[in-house]
A = this chain, B = another copy of it.
């Protein structure tokens, strides 16, 4: 079954406006094509060759006896893999942990759960020098040595993932013979979920990485079609951009709300992708721009953020994701002697959730809120690959609308500089 992401738009954007004219949309399509064809931007073409797939599978064969997979990385080097695993993990025999912070209490809790013999640490840093990741690599290595793993045995517990040519991790791998996968030079951290960064952990989780790629390929036509009315990328971008530019109040916040606990982490992956790519000082006028991403998930957040989405300022566009079919279900019929249980007893849990999504959509429409209603037939690898590529593409295209470079992150450099100065003063 092919990926089958579908879109309905219920927003107050003015479809007669300039933004929705065919020539405008085609112009943006042209700009998008130029980006994804450029040498330095590789995310769109990643699924077109099998180099990464093959390398990940080969590495998996070598280490598949390991029962605890510890991803050591931060930002894009952790969020994509986490999203994939939470969404799709089927192999329950393998445990996953994420060393994605420099919080000692968290790291101590995590290592407490690690049996050194069974552990594989996957050290992921595109640059090869990310401070947090290098620190956690040191800690992991010291932990193994303290727990009986000899110097010469360390290689059985580490795989690196870094730039193919440059950087300190690559150098170390060469020098000491550590196993090492590549992140292609033209794939930035937050666009790396379908590279080896995400593929190796996906294999350990029993996820079909061929399906991830097939899903990304399935959706390409609907991102590139010149039939602009049918193009989900152009239509989505036009709604978001038009509401940002012309609505009162300006719509400058983007909520991503899948109705699924398993896709909760996908919201956090989206937050990094959208926030770090689009939150920029624009060179042309030094304006501070950005479309603040907000993570949510249903139905849970109907008892949290939904009150604000419903009655608060109309400065948000909600991308609500519905999963039409689930692999399992529960009867709500019970002999519970209470009226609300009896009211639910003719239904199943999936029907309740379906009613909640539809009730919420209807209420949001009644309040004239801005909603993009996305749906997939089921939560599977093929649709996950398609969604990854869709959001990456949308992010890249929104960079054109905002007139900024979505692929850099200059705003974190100053903090790093100050942090290193602070460290130096400690010694």
Chain A contact residues, CB within 8 Å of chain B: 74-76, 78-79, 92, 100-109, 112, 128-132, 134-135, 137-139, 141-142, 168-169, 171-172, 175-176, 189, 252-253, 259-262, 268, 271-272, 275-276, 278-281, 288-290, 292-295, 297-300, 302-316, 326-334, 336-341, 344-356, 358-360, 362-364, 366-367, 379, 409-412, 414-423, 426-427
B-chain residues with CB within 8 Å of residue A298 when the two chains form the complex: 101
**Given A103-B353, A280-B311: 19 more A-B contacts, CB < 8 Å:** A75-B304, A102-B353, A104-B326, A104-B353, A106-B260, A128-B338, A131-B340, A138-B336, A141-B334, A168-B341, A276-B307, A278-B308, A279-B309, A288-B314, A290-B312, A346-B427, A355-B422, A359-B417, A362-B422
- On whether A303 and B412 interact (CB within 8 A), knowing A288-B312, A294-B294, the answer reads yes
Chain B residue nearest to A410 (CB atoms) is: B311
The winner among A354, A409, A418 for most chain B CB atoms within 10 A is A418
> What is the CB-to-nearest-CB distance from A396 to chain B, in angstroms, rounded to a whole number?
16
- On whether A132 and B299 interact (CB within 8 A), knowing A104-B328, A290-B313, the answer reads yes
Question: How far apart sit A281 and B305, CA to CA, in the bound complex (Å)?
Answer: 14
- On whether A306 and B344 interact (CB within 8 A), knowing A138-B332, A138-B334, the answer reads no
Question: How far apart sit A160 and B414, CA to CA, in the bound complex (Å)?
Answer: 51
Chain B residue nearest to A103 (CB atoms) is: B261
CB pairs A–B below 8 angstroms (22 shown) = A76-B303, A92-B112, A103-B326, A104-B353, A105-B328, A106-B260, A109-B262, A134-B338, A137-B341, A139-B330, A139-B332, A141-B334, A189-B303, A292-B312, A293-B308, A294-B294, A308-B411, A310-B411, A346-B427, A352-B423, A359-B422, A367-B414
Question: How far apart sit A128 and B336, CA to CA, in the bound complex (Å)?
Answer: 13
Question: How far apart sit A354 and B137, CA to CA, in the bound complex (Å)?
Answer: 19
> What is the CB-to-nearest-CB distance from A49 to chain B, in angstroms, rounded to a whole number?
28
Contact between A330 and B107 (Cβ–Cβ < 8 Å)?
Answer: yes
Closest 7 CB pairs of A and B: A279-B308, A75-B303, A359-B419, A290-B312, A279-B312, A106-B261, A359-B418
The winner among A129, A327, A336, A359 for most chain B CB atoms within 10 A is A359
> What is the CB-to-nearest-CB distance from A336 to chain B, in angstroms, rounded to a whole number?
6
B-chain residues with CB within 8 Å of residue A289 when the two chains form the complex: 312-313
Contact between B326 and A362 (Cβ–Cβ < 8 Å)?
Answer: no
> What is the CB-to-nearest-CB distance from A123 to chain B, in angstroms, rounded to a whole number?
11
- On whether A363 and B414 interact (CB within 8 A), knowing A129-B340, A313-B288, A328-B104, the answer reads yes
Question: How far apart sit A356 and B5, CA to CA, in the bound complex (Å)?
Answer: 40
B-chain residues with CB within 8 Å of residue A137 when the two chains form the complex: 336, 341
B-chain residues with CB within 8 Å of residue A288 when the two chains form the complex: 311-314
- On whether A307 and B363 interact (CB within 8 A), knowing A104-B326, A107-B330, A262-B103, the answer reads no
Chain B residue nearest to A79 (CB atoms) is: B304
> What is the CB-to-nearest-CB distance from A375 to chain B, in angstroms, rounded to a whole number?
15
Chain B residue nearest to A423 (CB atoms) is: B355
Contact between B305 and A276 (Cβ–Cβ < 8 Å)?
Answer: yes
Chain B residue nearest to A310 (CB atoms) is: B411
